[in-house]
Chains A and B, each alone.
Chain A
Amino acid sequence: MSAAPELPERSVLIEMYRKLSLLKQNDEQARAVIRSGRLQMIYYSPRGQECIPAAVSVNLTPQDYICTIYRGTHDLLAKGVPLEALWAEMAGKVTGTCKGKGGPMHITHPESGAMLTTGIVGSSMPIANGLALASQIRGDGKVTVAYFGDAASNIGAFHEALNMAAVWKLPVVFVCQNNRYGEHTRFEKATAARRVSDRAASYQIPGVTVDGNDPVAVYGVAKEAIARARAGEGPTLIEAMTFRFYGHVLGDADAYMDKAEKAAAIAADPVPRYRTWLIEQGHATESELASIDNTYAKQISEAIEAALAAPFPDVAELRRDVFAIELPEVVA
């Protein structure tokens, strides 16, 4: 718990805002285009959770790896996955990151270090270990971040992965985005530990709970954990406390959520709060931040329009990428 509130350099503060502006607006436009009926896709909104990947990513190099989960567009964009390819993938188009064959739950972009998006709760962690193991054996100095939700800490894969990473001192950082709900079930009802970070004690690794809605706090904790991993000192479990504004999957009626709790969380929206703070503290001007917002608003809508206009993949793609060599028609 050595999260000394170190204030990052101004350039980092601004870079975190850039990411927040991109992630928040991307989600807003995603929900808008789905609701308009112009794009049908299954969508797990990360709105409310943006500060976590924004603050983690500014501590990563483009060569570092992340593994994330189905609620992961914020993690992917923060790591640098380009908007055009991301949107085309969400639209199922051949110009997408995965030629339209993965979809929103499986976006992959190794050029940006985004190695895996999984639709299976808990599965980002064992695979993140493997990326980190390769780095350890090769001595390439890369760090891998595994993102997951609070409910994933109740699945076996979490415990197997943390134990192995601890035993082998792998250069991996486990970042739990605790949004208080696993699917429709409240954290307390499904989790025996008071805090996810308490579980780190079982594996004799540092476990830190941090305000996941405070970019500066997350930045400090992530910086230390990533430096520790890069130095060969092993993994850290970070639990970043946050809240998801739009339920489990977009369209769920969220009757299971406490209305007052949700209203309070939305009222304390961390992105505008950070924006105001930057201006009040003199780190940025209103016009500077407005310019960032406007740039991304335009880029996102252009990416959406390009995705909607792009062609679908050819049906022959069904026979490709099953194996290294295309399947013969007689088998497919």
Chain B
Amino acid sequence: MSTEKSRKNISALQSLNLALDRALASDPGVIILGEDVADPEDGGVMGVTKGLSTRHGDSRVRSTPISEQAIIGACIGASMVGMRPVAEIMLMNFTTVAMDMIVNHAAKLRFMSGGQTHVPITIRATTGAGFSTGGQHADYLEAWFAHTAGLKVVTYSNPADAHGLLLSCIFDDDPCIFIENLTTYFAPGVAPTPGERIPLGVAKVVREGRDATVISYGPQVNAALSAAKTLAETGIDIEVIDLRTIAPFDRESVLASVAKTRRAVVVHEAVKPFGVGAEISSVIHEELFSRLKAPVQRVGAPFCAVPYSKPLETAFVPSAARIEAAVRKTLGGA
């Protein structure tokens, strides 16, 4: 009915708002707790929850004290008796003050109780370098959560995926860390089909190619697609995989693609050492060592805090150029 172009009319922020609205409307067990999330407090610091407390009541969409442990704890307790709480932790770095609740409790209660209780919560947190917010407001901490048994870690590269993946997290029976990207909240994209869920644990091949596979997630998927265009100009045809779910990641799709292309690059904005790229690279080496034509390359941020000064911040975030260089390296280039 509508052309692809005319459907490019929604931002991730609007798409997330729509998903939360749908979830609240479809299940009375869905509640949202977070700092400033209700309308009298402006519907969230970025406005993701705007309008929701007005439509669904301030009992279900509650602005909280600045108390991250209490926010996550309340979500955990309510979820153990059948609710589906969504916590908004304003910035991903602020999850650090609630790590006991997330790591010792949300992640482990299903296992430690032998399955008698479980914690179907979604922790939304935004992050990402690019707005010069410095070292405590922009970290990608997904590797910490991915390294914790019992947590699912999910993120999106476009507004439609934001909608479908968030809905799946809310209605999933396990605790999900849902990572939003601050710098791309307002970037337009194709609108989702409202209410349509995208399954967790399933990656998407966003570009088919034969020479190398680039595996990524979040906004770096778009950097990879941009690199793919440049590489295509010199006859290099890369496949790009958007993981969508970082943990547990879709091994089958990754391995099938790399078995075909026999070269791989893993890309993320988080710092490179001990990151998600290390795990994915290891799995590829373990499973496909004899098939590989080159060692798997990793692209990530340098091992430092997110810097403030603009040129430093720009250099910190992986770019299409760095992805391109990593691909060329797997092809035997410099």
Contact = CB atoms under 8 A, between A and B. Distances in A.
A125 B76 CA distance: 11
Contact of B80 (A101, A131, A161, A163): A131
Nearest to A327: B248
* Interface residues of chain B: helix, strand, loop or mixed (majority): mixed
Contact of A110 (B116, B149, B172): B116
A131 B113 contact: no
A126 B74 contact: yes
Interface string A90-106: 00000011111110001
Interface in A109-158: 109-110, 115-116, 118-120, 123, 125-134, 136-137, 144, 156-157
A206 to B, nearest CB: 20
Contact of B114 (A100, A118, A133): A100
Contacts of B45: none
Interface of A: 65, 67, 96-102, 106, 108-110, 115-116, 118-120, 123, 125-134, 136-137, 144, 156-157, 160-161, 163-164, 167-168, 320-324, 327, 330-331
B51 interface: no
A130 B79 CA distance: 8
Interface of B: 31, 59-60, 62, 64-65, 67, 69-70, 72-83, 85, 100-101, 104-105, 109-118, 149-150, 152, 172-174, 248, 251
A168 B114 CA distance: 32
Given A98-B114, A106-B112, A324 B173 contact: yes
Contacts of A126: 69-70, 72-74, 76-77, 101
Nearest to B75: A130
B116 A129 contact: no
A123 B116 contact: no
Nearest to A105: B112
13 contacts: A65-B81, A67-B77, A102-B114, A110-B80, A116-B80, A126-B73, A127-B77, A131-B81, A137-B78, A160-B67, A168-B62, A323-B174, A324-B118
Given A110-B116, A134-B83, A323-B174, A125 B65 contact: no
Q: Which 10 pairs between the two chains have the least Cβ-Cβ distance?
A: A130-B77, A126-B73, A99-B114, A98-B114, A160-B70, A160-B67, A108-B113, A130-B74, A324-B173, A102-B112
Contacts of B85: 130
A97 B114 contact: yes
A67 B110 CA distance: 15
B182 to A, nearest CB: 25
B100 A157 contact: yes
Contacts of A330: 251
Contacts of B79: 130
Nearest to B151: A323
A137 B117 contact: no
A32 B67 CA distance: 43
A193 to B, nearest CB: 20
Given A116-B109, A133-B74, A164-B67, A331 B248 contact: yes
A134 B81 contact: yes
Contacts of B115: 99, 320-321
Contacts of A161: 69-70, 73
A123 B104 contact: yes
A306 to B, nearest CB: 18
B199 to A, nearest CB: 12
A164 B70 contact: yes
Contacts of A65: 81
A11 B256 CA distance: 69
Contact of B117 (A108, A118, A119, A320): A108
Contact of B174 (A102, A132, A324): A324
A116 B109 CA distance: 8
A134 B73 CA distance: 12
B119 to A, nearest CB: 10
Nearest to A144: B77
Contacts of B114: 96-102, 108, 321
B70 A163 contact: yes
A130 B174 contact: no
Given A115-B117, A126-B73, A157-B100, 13 more contacts: A96-B114, A97-B113, A116-B80, A123-B100, A126-B69, A130-B74, A130-B80, A133-B31, A133-B77, A163-B70, A321-B114, A327-B248, A331-B248
Given A98-B116, A126-B69, A322 B77 contact: no
Contacts of A157: 69-70, 73, 100
A137 B62 CA distance: 11
A64 B274 CA distance: 45
Contacts of B110: 321-324
Contacts of B60: 137
A66 B77 CA distance: 11
B115 to A, nearest CB: 4
B74, B101, B105: most-surrounded residue (chain A CB, <10 A): B74
